[in-house]
Amino acid sequence: MTQSHWKPDLYIVSRFLETLWLGHKNYKKTNLQMAVKLNYDVYMKYLGWLEGKGLIATYMEDGHQYVKITAEGAKVFNTIVMWIKETIGE
């Protein structure tokens, strides 16, 4: 499957955003990968997609790459949570 046909899984997107939102901190790139429990190739695909959509941002600090949720990412995360509560329930 080519990159142009790839579609993200909403549950994995939610897992990324939830980890960053509830963690109340910026994660080192490697630590985030472990927290969302994805293999490297899949993780990198999602990381690129999420950053491309403006839901997360990466930055360098003290020689380490960090990932943080953006204001737009927090908005999307809250929308997903509300939809789940309304559709599926608590």
Q: Is residue 85 predicted with pLDDT exceeding 90? A: no
Cβ-count burial of 76 within 10 angstroms (0-12 exposed, 13-18 middle, 19+ buried)?
buried
Residue 27 CA to residue 31 CA, distance in Å, equals 6
Q: Express as a percent the part of the chain with pLDDT over 90.
A: 73
For residues 47 and 84, which has the higher predicted lDDT (pLDDT)? 47
Residue carrying structure tokens 């020689």: 63
What integer pLDDT is reported at residue 81 of this predicted model? 85
Write out pLDDT tens, residues 1-40: 455 688 999 889 999 999 999 887 789 999 999 999 999 9
pTM here?
0.85
Q: Show the domains of the chain with their CATH numbers.
A: 8-87 (1.10.10.10)
What integer pLDDT is reported at residue 16 of this predicted model? 95
